[in-house]
Structure 1
Amino acid sequence: MKTDVQINKSEKSYLFRFNKHVYVYLISVLLASLFWFLNALEKTYFVLVHFPVTYTGIPAGKMVLNELPPQVKIQISGKGFNLLPITLLNKNNKLSIDFSQVKFNKKSEEIYRISASDLIEQVKNEIPSNVKINTLNPDTIFLHLNEKYSKTVPVKPLFHAVFKDQFSFSDTLKITPSHIKLYGPKKELDKINALYTDSFYIEYPEKKLTVNIGLQNISGHLELETNKVEIVIPIEKLTEKKIRVPVQAINLPDTIQIKTFPQWIELSLLVPLSKYDAIDESQIELTVDYLDYSEKKKSRLLVKVQKKPEFVIINHTKPEKVEFIVKRK
Structure 2
Amino acid sequence: MSGLLTRAGTLLRWFVRPFAGQEPSFYRAITACLLAAGLFWQMNALNKTYTSRLDFPLAWHYDSAHYVPLRPLPARVGVTVTGQGWRLLRANLGWGTHPADLRPVPYPGTRYLPNESWRRGLQNALEGVQVNEWSGDTLRLTFDRIASRRLPLVLPADSARRYRATFKPAFVTFRGPSSLLQALPNPYPVRLLRDDADVTEVPIVAPARIRASVRSVQARISRR
One fold, TM greater than 0.5?
yes
CA apart distance, 1:151: 0.7
CA contact (8 A) 1:148 1:185 kept: yes
- In structure 2, C-alpha distance between the alignment counterparts of 1:86 and 1:149, rounded to whole Å: 41
Is 1:43 aligned to residue 53 of structure 2?
no
CA contact (8 A) 1:111 1:144 kept: yes
SS in 1 for 2:215: strand
SS in 1 for 2:63: coil
* Map of 1:116 onto structure 2: 115
TM-score by length of 1: 0.44
Q: RMSD of the alignment, in Å?
A: 4.6
CA contact (8 A) 1:110 1:144 kept: yes
* Map of 2:17 onto structure 1: none
Distance 1:177 1:18, change over 3 A: farther
- In structure 2, C-alpha distance between the alignment counterparts of 1:225 and 1:58, rounded to whole Å: 19
Structure with greater helix share of residues:
2
CA contact (8 A) 2:177 2:210 kept: no
Higher CA-based Rg: 1
Deviation string for 1:61-107 (max 9, x for gaps)?
A: 5554565444321111222122121111179541222346xxx9x9x
- In structure 2, C-alpha distance between the alignment counterparts of 1:228 and 1:22, rounded to whole Å: 77
CA contact (8 A) 1:180 1:224 kept: no
- In structure 1, C-alpha distance between the alignment counterparts of 2:132 and 2:86, rounded to whole Å: 18
Is 1:215 aligned to residue 205 of structure 2?
yes
**Any stretches of 5+ residues in structure 1 without a counterpart?**
1-16, 159-171, 203-207, 234-308, 315-329
Q: Of 146, 149, 152, which aligns to 2:150?
A: 152
Distance 1:71 1:214, change over 3 A: farther
* Map of 1:125 onto structure 2: 124
Q: Of 68, 76, 79, which aligns to 2:81?
A: 76
Q: Of 128, 131, 135, which aligns to 1:137?
A: 135
CA apart distance, 1:133: 1.3
Deviation string for 1:28-76 (max 9, x for gaps)?
A: 2221221121122123222211223333233865554565444321111
Distance 1:310 1:66, change over 3 A: closer
Structure with greater strand share of residues:
1
Question: Which aligned pairs between 1:1-329 and structure 2 lie closer than 5 A?
Answer: 18-58=23-63, 61-65=66-70, 68-89=73-94, 92-99=97-104, 113-129=112-128, 131-138=129-136, 141-154=139-152, 179-185=172-178, 189=182, 191-193=184-186, 194=188, 196=190, 215=205, 217=207, 223-226=209-212, 229-230=215-216, 310=221
The aligned amino acid for 1:179 is: V
Instruction: Give the structure, 1 or 2, with the largest relative contact order (CA under 8 Å, sep 6 or more).
Output: 2
- In structure 2, C-alpha distance between the alignment counterparts of 1:53 and 1:146, rounded to whole Å: 21
Question: Identity of aligned pairs, percent?
Answer: 17
Deviation string for 1:116-174 (max 9, x for gaps)?
A: 23211111111122x2212111179554555544212356789xxxxxxxxxxxxx898
SS in 2 for 1:125: helix
CA contact (8 A) 2:59 2:100 kept: yes
- In structure 1, C-alpha distance between the alignment counterparts of 2:24 and 2:167, rounded to whole Å: 84
Distance 1:186 1:84, change over 3 A: closer
- In structure 1, C-alpha distance between the alignment counterparts of 2:102 and 2:79, rounded to whole Å: 16
